[in-house]
């Protein structure tokens, strides 16, 4: 497909130039100019040829990235330089040193020169013969420069758009003014230290159930003197165990409550004293 672009453009340029040869005689010939009149149709066709092949087609090739079209234009533009570079000397064409090879080469180069300059002949009425005869030499540089300029423009445009979408951090230079330094110090945000490591949050339990579990051991008291243990301290099967830090609150003495001391039983028979009838009974405080 890319070779088709190259071939089609190259052959289209040659076909268009050969169409202008039908307007006889040729205005531009190698080394001479043949004056003649130009019709309206030839002037319109020459303007279209100039705009399409020198401007529009190179712009299209650069915009659509179809560089094989530009290559076809460049190869046709190189034909205009062949007569200037390789045309044989006059002594090799006429005179004693003339040869068939040099005469044939000169004839081919004269035909190429007339073909590439024929589309611009009618433009000599607007810009003159010198400018019109040099337009064929602009096909090669324009076919290279226009796509190259478009490619450079697209590169810098994409770079600018990418920079705007993700701008880099701009660090302002420190100001030498004392007022600016004070203002910057006042507006400077406090830098908070970052947490190092992994932060693990404790699981949140039901507040009602947790509150019941933590209050229940406080409400149950055990007598330290009797050494008994209440059954309320045993964890219920439905409740979740709660771990309390520090000593158990059940075994801490209350400051306002004095410990109860049991009064011992006194038997007067031990001292040998007899009572009138029955020994005085000491009431037991346990009753």
Q: What is the per-residue pLDDT across 120-169, written as a single tens digit (0 to 9) for each?
A: 999 998 898 899 999 999 999 999 999 999 999 999 999 988 888 876 54
First to last CA, the chain: 119
Identify the CA nearest to 76 among candidates 133, 162, 8, 20.
8
Please state the rounded mean pLDDT for residues 235-246: 55
Output the pTM of the full model.
0.55
pLDDT at 77 over 90: yes
Q: Would you say 90 and 153 are in contact if contact means Cβ atoms under 8 Å apart?
A: no
**Residue 32 falls in which region: left (phi positive, over 0), alpha (psi -120 to 50) or beta:** beta
Quick check: 69 and 2 in contact, CB under 8 A?
no
Q: Mind listing the pLDDT tens digit for each residue in 82-127?
A: 998 988 888 788 777 778 888 898 999 999 999 999 999 999 988 9
Any alpha helices (H) in 21-134, and if so which ranges?
A: 40-51, 57-63, 67-79, 82-86, 90-93, 100-117, 124-127, 129-134
- pLDDT for residue 225: 41
Residue 267's φ and ψ, nearest 5 degrees, are -110, 115
Instruction: Give CA–CA dist 125/132, Å, rounded.
Output: 9
Token representation of residue 202: 């404790």
Confidence of residue 224 (pLDDT cuts 50, 70, 90): very low
**Residues in CB range of 11: below 8 A, 6 or more apart:** none
| Max CA distance (Å), the chain | 188
**What integer pLDDT is reported at residue 196 of this predicted model?**
62
Domain boundaries, the chain: 2-161
Least confident of 14-18, 37-41, 192-196, 281-285: 281-285
Task: Give yes or no for a contact between 100 and 34, defined as CB atoms under 8 angstroms apart.
Answer: no
């Amino acid at each position: 497909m890319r070779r088709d672009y190259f071939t089609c453009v190259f052959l289209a340029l040659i076909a268009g130039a050969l169409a202008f040869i039908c307007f006889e005689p040729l205005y531009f010939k190698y080394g001479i100019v043949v004056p003649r009149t130009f019709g309206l149709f030839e002037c319109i066709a020459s303007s279209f040829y100039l705009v399409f092949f020198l401007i529009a087609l190179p712009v299209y090739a650069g915009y659509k990235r179809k560089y094989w079209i530009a290559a076809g234009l460049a190869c046709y533009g190189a034909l205009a330089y062949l007569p200037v570079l390789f045309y044989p000397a006059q002594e090799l064409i006429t005179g004693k040193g003339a040869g068939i090879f040099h005469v044939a080469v000169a004839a081919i180069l004269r035909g190429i020169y007339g073909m590439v300059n024929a589309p611009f002949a009618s433009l000599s009425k607007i810009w003159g013969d010198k400018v019109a005869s040099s337009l064929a030499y602009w096909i090669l540089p324009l076919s290279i420069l226009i796509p190259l300029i478009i490619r450079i423009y697209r590169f810098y445009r994409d770079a600018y758009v990418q920079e705007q979408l993700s701008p880099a951090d701009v660090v302002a230079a420190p100001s030498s003014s004392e007022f600016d330094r004070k203002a910057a110090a006042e507006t400077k945000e406090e830098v908070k230290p970052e947490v190092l490591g992994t932060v693990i949050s404790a699981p949140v339990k039901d507040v009602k159930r947790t509150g019941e579990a933590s209050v229940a051991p406080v409400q149950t008291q055990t007598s330290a003197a009797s050494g008994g243990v209440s059954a309320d301290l045993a964890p219920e099967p439905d409740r979740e165990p709660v771990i309390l830090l520090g000593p158990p609150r059940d075994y801490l003495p209350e400051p306002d409550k004095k410990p109860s001391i049991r009064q011992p039983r006194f038997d007067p028979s031990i001292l040998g004293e007899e009572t009138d009838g029955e020994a005085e009974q000491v009431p037991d405080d346990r009753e």
